[in-house]
Copies of this chain bind each other. A is one copy, B any other.
């Protein structure tokens, strides 16, 4: 069985989520073996949150799950690419489709996207 090299990477490997339809790169997060195996099994993206130090079932709070259409592995077997259908249309907790909503322009960063949702309405704190 082919397998991701979690050990080489200290237990966590980068996982990139790409919109399966538009091709937009939505976000980058981390997976440990448990997150990867649950993702394979459930076909919903599960990451490992370094800040919370626990599994992070993407959408568990917002309802914005990622349905996994394809799982790709890179040449070094230490990075994962998920092609997903993003429920709610936005992957970013700030309300944008993609976490990559800022472009570097000289010394500044310019916001190049429109919010899909209002974070205050989605994350009730």
Contacts and interface: CB of A to CB of B under 8 A. Distances in A.
Contacts of A18: 25
B103 A70 contact: yes
A108 interface: yes
B73 A104 contact: yes
A101 B71 CA distance: 11
A71 B16 contact: no
Interface in A84-125: 92-94, 96, 99-104, 107-109, 112
B103 A74 contact: no
Interface of A: 1-2, 14, 16, 18, 22-25, 27-28, 40, 70-76, 79, 81, 92-94, 96, 99-104, 107-109, 112
